[in-house]
Chain A
Amino acid sequence: MQLRSKRSRAEGSGEVLFPNGEWVLLLALVAEAALFSMIAPGFFTLANLFEVLRFSVELGLLAVALTPILIAGGIDLSVGSTVGLTAVIFGMVWQAGHQTVFVAGLVALLAGCLCGALNALMIAGLRLPALIVTLGTYSLYRGIAEGITHGSVSYTGYPRSFLMLGQGYFWNLIPIQLPIFLLVVAGYWVLVHRSVVGRALYAIGFNVEGARHAGVPVRRRLALVYLLSGAVAGLAAIIYVAHLGLAKSDLGTGYELQAIAAVVLGGTSVFGGRGTILGTLLGLFFLSVLQNGMHLMALPSELTGVLIGLLLLGIVSLDRLRGRAATKTPAGSTRTKQKIVFALVAIAVLGFAGQHWYGARGGDSSRRAGAKGRRPVIAVMPKAKGDPYFLSARAGAEEAAKALDVELIWDGPTSLDASQQNELVENWITRGVDAIVVAVENRGSISTVLRKARQHGIAVLTWDADAEVDARAYFLDQATPEGIANTLTDETARLMPQGGQFAIITGALSAANQNEWIAFIKKRVAEKHPELVLATVQPSDDDRDKAFTQTQTILKVFPQVKLVMDISAPAVPGSAEAVQQSGRKDVDVIGLSLPAICKPYVHSGVVQTIVLWNTRDLGYLTVYAGWLEAQKKIPAGATSIEAGRLGRLQVRGSEIVLGVPLIINKENIDHLDF
C-alpha cells in the first residue's frame, strides 16, 4: 500500500485519470452540455441523455474498436462496409436461410471476424500498408453486400424479442443496447490499458522495430486488433439491424470517417502510440451531444458537419502547435493553457452560432414555451436534404407556415440514412413539437419511434412514403407507387405504339421505393403492355453525371432501346443531355423528375413527359395537414378536408389524397414553378 501511494504521488493523480490530457475534452464536453442546457429546449433531461447514448452505440462500437488500431499506428477504413456486409449476411441467414436469430447473429459475428481476418492477413501477414488495404476492402465488402442482395433486397420482419435489442428499454429509460456497449467498452479498456496486448500495441505504435527487439509479437498483435475490429463491426451490425428493424447493403455508409473523427478528436494520434479509450468516448460524446443539441435547437443538420470539420481541424492543428511549443519550451503549462483557450473559443463559437441562428429563427422558444397561445411548431422531415425534389417541397411548406403563422422546422439527414431519421424524430419528441410530418426512408425502422411520438401527444403524419399504418394518423398520398408505375408505363406504351425495348435508370440499386416502382412497372408491362420489353436496369446513384454516362452506354449496348425511363430526379436531365448529344432523334426520355431541372429538355423535345405530382403543393399540404391534425381539426371518419389554397381534398381511409400524378409536357411546363 505504501507503494501505491508512492506511485500515485510519482505519477500525479491527473496523469492516472487522464494520461492523455483528456480532461480538457471533458471540460469542453461539460461546457458544451451546459451551453445546450441553457439554450436547447429539452436537452437537460435524463431521457435525452439516454437517447444520446442510444444513438451513439453503433458508431461508438466502431470508434472503440478503431482506437487500438490507431494506437498501433494503423487505420481501418473498412469498418462501415463491414457493418453493411455483416448486416446483410445476418438478414440473409435469418430470412433466406430460415435460421434462428441467434444462429444468424453467430454467423454475422463470424462474417465480421472473416472481414477482419482478411484485413489482418494483408496488413499483419503480408505487411501491406493499412490505408490501401482497407481502402480496397472498403470497396470490396460493400460491393459483396450489394452483389449478394443485388442492391435491392432488404431483410425485415424480425421478431419483437430481437428488435428489443435495438429499440427496447430497461425500466422505460435505459436502452437495452447500452449495457452491451458498456461491456465492449470495458473489454476494450482492459485490452488497451490493462493488458499485455495493449502494452504491446502502444510499443508498436511508438516504434515497431523497438517493439520487435523487445520480443513483442508484432504481427500477432496487429492481426488481433484488425480481427477484433471486424468482429465488433459485426456486433454493431446486429445492433443496428435491431435498431432499424431491417438489414440492407447500404447500412453503415460513411461510418468509418465518423468513427475516425471521434477517435482523433479524442486525442489518439494517427501516427500511433498515443490515445485512450476514455478519450475516444469523450470524442464520441462530444460529437453526439453536438448533433443532439443542434437538432434540439432546430439548427440544420449540415451545419453540424461544418462544425465537426472545423473543430477537428482546429483541435489537431492546435495539438501540433502545442507539440512544437513543447519542444521549444519544455514547460507543460503552455499546452494546457492553449487547450483551455481553445476549448473556450470553441464553446464561444458554438454559442454564438447557436444564438445567431436561434435569433434568426424568430425568438426564444423557451421563453415562449410557457406562454399561452404560442405558435404551433410543425416539424417536417424530407428523406434527405440536398435533393432538389425535397427542396421544391420546402418552398410550399414555407408558404403554408407563413399563411398559418406556425413555426416550421425543416430538417432531415444529409444523405439517405434511416437511423438519422429516427434520431431526428427522437430529438423532436424531446424538444416538444406539435406535429411531425415525415417522408419515410424505411417503414420498418421508423414506425417504433413514430408511435412513441404519438404517445407523447404529437400529431404524426407521413408523406412521400408511408410508415406502418398504426404509427401515423394520416398519410399524405401524392400518388401510390402503383399509380406512378402505371402512369409511367402507360406513357411509355403511348410513345412506343409499335412496342419495343426500353431501359430504366434508377437511383441507387438499394433504394427501396425505386425498387418498388420497378416491380410495379414490370407487373404493368406483363399485364397490359406485352409489346414492351425492359432491356436493362442501371443505377445512377442519384448523380446526374453518372446517369449521363449510363445512358450513353445503354444507347450503344442496346441500340434497339427507343425510350429511357428515369425514375430518379437528377437522372432525367443526365439522360436527356446524353440523348441530345448523341443526336439520336428516335429515342425518347421520360421519367420522374422536377419541371425546374428538366425544362430545357422538355422544350427541346428530348424529354417527352415527366410524371410528377405538384411537389410544391405537397410541401404546402405537409404543413397544412400537420397543423390541422395538431389542432384536432380533422374529425374521425372525415371524407374530405379543406386545405387552404389547395381547396377541398379527398380523404380515403387514413390517406389524404393530393390528386393524381401530373403529366408534365411541353404544354403545361411553363405554368409550373417548382
Chain B
Amino acid sequence: MGLEALLPKGKALLPLLRAESICKNFAGVRALKSASLTLLRGEVHALIGENGAGKSTLTKVITGAISADSGVLEIDGRKVDDNSPGIARELGVAAIYQQPSLFLHLTVAENIALALEGGSGGWRVDWKARRRQAEELIGSLGARIDPLRLASSLSMAEQQIVEIAKALGAEAKILIMDEPTALLSDREVEPLFRLARRLREDGVGIIYISHRLEEIAAIADRITVMRDGETIACQDAATVDRAELIQLMVGRSVASVFPKREVAIGEVALEVRDLNYASAGLQGISFSVRSGEIFGLAGLVGSGRTELARVLFGLTPCVDGISVQGQAVRIDSPRDAIELGIGYVPEDRRQHGVILEMGIAKNVSLASLCAVSRWGWIDATKEFELAEGYRETLRIKAASVFVPAGTLSGGNQQKVALARWLAIRPRILILDEPTQGVDVGSKAEIHEFVVQLAEQGVAVVLISSELPEVLGMCDRIGVFHAGTLAGVLSREEATQEKILTLAFGHAVAGGQAA
C-alpha cells in the first residue's frame, strides 16, 4: 500500500515528527545514545526493543516530560528546542501509557475534560457538555462507561479506555501508545485496533510501542527497532519477518550471552500447590523449585507473575498452598518470608527495591539488621564490613558505601538491591525483572551473580519479560497467563514460540500470529 495515496496533496511526505540523534543521560547512565525516529502522517509506526532499550525515554522526550541533552526534535515541521508537556500538547502530541494516570477522586467525564482543557479554557464547567463529550469519546471506542463514575471505581482496563478517550478528544496529530494493551483483555484490544486504523485514515501518526510482535504485525506500517539507546533499524512492516526483528532487537545470539552453567540440583526448596487467591487474581497455581535451580516465570505484564511473587514474600498474605523445605508455611508478612530465607528483589527498583535517600550500607543491611546488631544496637563496623564486602564482590561502582543509593546508576542500584537480599543468606531468592533498565555491563554481571547463587544452592525464581533472558538463564520456565500457570517448560524444550504460545493462551492459538 502506497502511503502517499492517503495523504492530502501538497503536504505529502513532510514528516509529522522527526527526532534525530537524541541523547539523554540519567545520573551517569546513557538512556539514549543516538535515537532517531521519523513519523509520517497517517501511519502506525511501531517502536520495538528490549526493556531498557530506550523506547520510553524517547517517547518522554517527544511528550516533553523530560528534556533531551542533545539532538534535533521537529514536530509538524517546527523545530522544538525547549520541549515541555504544554508545548508538546499544543503541537498535537498525546500519549497513552501502560499505567493510567487519572485523577482518582474525579469522574470520568471530568478526567477527560481536564485533560482536554488543561490550564486554559473557559471559566465555567458545563457538566452536560462534559458528559456528552465523554459519552461520545468512549462510545467511539466501542466501550460503555458511565461518565459520572469516579475514576477510582474503574478497573484498570476501563481506566486505560479513559486514557485513550482523553487522547482521542485532544484530536492529537501524534499519538504515542506505550503498551496500551498490556493490561487489556483480548476483547478490549480489537476495538482499540479498529480505532487506531481509523485515526490513521484521518492522518494521525501513531507511535505504537509493544512487546507483542503479533499485534505489531497486525497494525504497524513501519517498525523502528531500538537497542541500548540507539536506533538500529527502520523497516517496512510488510517486508520484515519476526526472526529478523528479534535478531535486531537482541543484537546477539541468545546462547553466547548468558553465563548459565550446569549446577547440581538439590532438594525441593519451595513448593506451591494449588494456590488460589482471588483478590490477587491467582488461580490454581502449582509448581516447585529445587535448590540450585533457576526457575523462570514468563508471561505478559499483569498476568500474575508479580502478584505471585508478592504472595510468596508475604506482601499480600495468602492463606495456604505454600511449603518451604517440605514444611507447609504461612507467610503473613515480609518478616515471615525473611525468616524462612526468602528474598525478593522487586520490580520497581526506585520505589521498592532500594531507598534512594539512604546510603548503600544502610540499604544493604536493612533486611538483615539482626545480623549486624546485638540486642538491637547496630554495630557500625560490622555493617560497614558487610556493605563493603558486597561492594567489592558485586563490583558496585560508588565512591564509598555511604553514598546515597539514589546517586548511583540503575545497574548499581540494582546491585545494591541484590546485595540486600544476599545479606540475609537466602535459600530462596525471587528476582522480579532484575535487569530491567540496567545497562548491558551490569546486566551481564547480575546474570553471573545469579548463576553463582544457584551454584551455592540457592533456589532462584526469575521473573522476566525478556524472553532471551528467561531462555538463557533458567533451568525450567513457568509461563503465566491471566492469573494461571499455563505451563512449565524445561530448558531443553523451551523456545520463544512455545513460551509465547502459552503466554498468549488461546489468543495465539486463535491464529492472530502473523
| A binding-site residues for B, Cβ under 8 Å | 3-4, 7, 10-11, 15, 190, 194-197, 199-200, 202-203, 206-207, 209-217, 273
Q: Which of A7, A190, A216 contacts B366 (CB 8 A)?
A: A216
Give residues of chain B (333-374) contacting chain A, Cβ–Cβ below 8 Å: 333-335, 337-338, 344, 346, 351-358, 362, 365-367, 369-370, 373
A199: B residues at CB distance < 8 A: 362, 365-366, 369, 378
B381: A residues at CB distance < 8 A: 3-4, 7
Contact of B385 with A by CB under 8 A: yes
How far apart are the CA atoms of A195 and B420 in the complex, in Å? 18
Q: Which of B344, B373, B378, B400 contacts A213 (CB 8 A)?
A: B344
Q: Which of A11, A194, A209, A212 contacts B400 (CB 8 A)?
A: A11
Give the residue among A15, A212, A214, A217 with the most B Cβ atoms within 10 A.
A214
Known: A196-B370, A199-B369, A215-B335. A210 touches B355 (CB 8 A): yes
Known: A7-B384, A217-B333. A207 touches B344 (CB 8 A): no
A202: B residues at CB distance < 8 A: 358, 362
A213: B residues at CB distance < 8 A: 315, 334, 344, 346, 352-353
How far apart are the CA atoms of A419 and B351 in the complex, in Å? 47
Give residues of chain B (93-113) contacting chain A, Cβ–Cβ below 8 Å: none
A206: B residues at CB distance < 8 A: 355-358
Q: List 30 A-B contacts (CB under 8 A).
A: A3-B384, A3-B385, A7-B380, A11-B400, A194-B377, A194-B378, A195-B378, A196-B369, A196-B378, A199-B369, A202-B358, A203-B355, A203-B366, A207-B357, A209-B351, A209-B352, A210-B352, A210-B354, A213-B315, A213-B344, A213-B346, A213-B352, A214-B355, A214-B366, A215-B335, A215-B337, A215-B366, A215-B367, A216-B366, A217-B333
A372 to chain B, nearest CB (A): 61
A11: B residues at CB distance < 8 A: 400, 402
Q: Are A190 and B402 closer than 8 Å at their CB atoms?
A: no
Give residues of chain B (383-410) contacting chain A, Cβ–Cβ below 8 Å: 384-385, 388, 399-402
Known pairs A200-B366, A212-B315. 14 more at Cβ < 8 A? A3-B381, A7-B381, A15-B402, A195-B376, A196-B376, A203-B362, A206-B356, A209-B352, A210-B353, A210-B354, A211-B355, A214-B334, A215-B333, A215-B366
B362: A residues at CB distance < 8 A: 199, 202-203
Closest 7 CB pairs of A and B: A10-B400, A215-B334, A213-B352, A196-B369, A214-B366, A215-B338, A210-B355
B373: A residues at CB distance < 8 A: 195-196
Q: Are A214 and B358 closer than 8 Å at their CB atoms?
A: no
How far apart are the CA atoms of A190 and B374 in the complex, in Å? 13
B357: A residues at CB distance < 8 A: 206-207, 273
A200: B residues at CB distance < 8 A: 366, 369
How far apart are the CA atoms of A202 and B356 in the complex, in Å? 12
A217: B residues at CB distance < 8 A: 333, 335
A289 to chain B, nearest CB (A): 32
A7: B residues at CB distance < 8 A: 380-381, 384
How far apart are the CA atoms of A214 and B357 in the complex, in Å? 15
| B binding-site residues for A, Cβ under 8 Å | 315, 333-335, 337-338, 344, 346, 351-358, 362, 365-367, 369-370, 373, 376-378, 380-381, 384-385, 388, 399-402, 420
How far apart are the CA atoms of A76 and B136 in the complex, in Å? 49
Q: Are B420 and A214 closer than 8 Å at their CB atoms?
A: yes
How far apart are the CA atoms of A10 and B391 in the complex, in Å? 14
B337: A residues at CB distance < 8 A: 215
B356: A residues at CB distance < 8 A: 206-207
Known: A197-B376, A199-B362, A207-B351. A214 touches B367 (CB 8 A): yes
B183 to chain A, nearest CB (A): 20
Q: Are A207 and B355 closer than 8 Å at their CB atoms?
A: yes
B365: A residues at CB distance < 8 A: 199
B334: A residues at CB distance < 8 A: 212-216
How far apart are the CA atoms of A214 and B351 in the complex, in Å? 11
How far apart are the CA atoms of A194 and B356 in the complex, in Å? 20
How far apart are the CA atoms of A203 and B365 in the complex, in Å? 12
Q: Are A195 and B377 closer than 8 Å at their CB atoms?
A: yes
A196: B residues at CB distance < 8 A: 369-370, 373, 376, 378
A209: B residues at CB distance < 8 A: 351-352
B346: A residues at CB distance < 8 A: 213
Give the residue among B334, B346, B355 with the most A Cβ atoms within 10 A.
B355
How far apart are the CA atoms of A197 and B377 in the complex, in Å? 9
How far apart are the CA atoms of A209 and B400 in the complex, in Å? 26
B372 to chain A, nearest CB (A): 9
How far apart are the CA atoms of A194 and B382 in the complex, in Å? 13
A83 to chain B, nearest CB (A): 28
Q: Which of A10, A195, A203 contacts B358 (CB 8 A)?
A: A203
How far apart are the CA atoms of A202 and B378 in the complex, in Å? 14
**Chain B, residue nearest A207 (CB):** B355
How far apart are the CA atoms of A203 and B337 in the complex, in Å? 19
**Chain B, residue nearest A196 (CB):** B369
How far apart are the CA atoms of A45 and B98 in the complex, in Å? 68
How far apart are the CA atoms of A15 and B335 in the complex, in Å? 32
**Chain B, residue nearest A193 (CB):** B378
B380: A residues at CB distance < 8 A: 7, 194
**Chain A, residue nearest B384 (CB):** A7
How far apart are the CA atoms of A206 and B399 in the complex, in Å? 22
B18 to chain A, nearest CB (A): 31
How far apart are the CA atoms of A202 and B385 in the complex, in Å? 21
A190 to chain B, nearest CB (A): 7
B378: A residues at CB distance < 8 A: 194-196, 199
B376: A residues at CB distance < 8 A: 195-197
B401 to chain A, nearest CB (A): 7
B426 to chain A, nearest CB (A): 11
B344: A residues at CB distance < 8 A: 213
Give the residue among B353, B358, B362 with the most A Cβ atoms within 10 A.
B358
B370: A residues at CB distance < 8 A: 196
How far apart are the CA atoms of A202 and B366 in the complex, in Å? 11
B400: A residues at CB distance < 8 A: 10-11
Give the residue among A3, A196, A203, A216 with the most B Cβ atoms within 10 A.
A196
**Chain A, residue nearest B401 (CB):** A10
A207: B residues at CB distance < 8 A: 351, 355-357
How far apart are the CA atoms of A11 and B398 in the complex, in Å? 13
B370 to chain A, nearest CB (A): 7
How far apart are the CA atoms of A273 and B358 in the complex, in Å? 9
**Chain B, residue nearest A220 (CB):** B335
How far apart are the CA atoms of A652 and B315 in the complex, in Å? 78
How far apart are the CA atoms of A254 and B378 in the complex, in Å? 36
B20 to chain A, nearest CB (A): 28
How far apart are the CA atoms of A355 and B154 in the complex, in Å? 65
**Chain A, residue nearest B352 (CB):** A213
A661 to chain B, nearest CB (A): 62
How far apart are the CA atoms of A11 and B355 in the complex, in Å? 19
B338: A residues at CB distance < 8 A: 215
How far apart are the CA atoms of A206 and B376 in the complex, in Å? 21
A5 to chain B, nearest CB (A): 11
A212: B residues at CB distance < 8 A: 315, 334
A3: B residues at CB distance < 8 A: 381, 384-385, 388
Give the residue among A196, A199, A210 with the most B Cβ atoms within 10 A.
A210
**Chain B, residue nearest A15 (CB):** B402
How far apart are the CA atoms of A207 and B254 in the complex, in Å? 38
Give the residue among B352, B353, B356 with the most A Cβ atoms within 10 A.
B352
How far apart are the CA atoms of A603 and B353 in the complex, in Å? 77
How far apart are the CA atoms of A409 and B305 in the complex, in Å? 75
Give the residue among A206, A207, A210, A215 with the most B Cβ atoms within 10 A.
A215
B333: A residues at CB distance < 8 A: 215, 217
Q: Which of B351, B384, B385, B401 contacts A210 (CB 8 A)?
A: B351
B352: A residues at CB distance < 8 A: 209-210, 213
**Chain A, residue nearest B379 (CB):** A194
How far apart are the CA atoms of A213 and B356 in the complex, in Å? 13
How far apart are the CA atoms of A213 and B309 in the complex, in Å? 11
B420: A residues at CB distance < 8 A: 214
A203: B residues at CB distance < 8 A: 355, 358, 362, 366
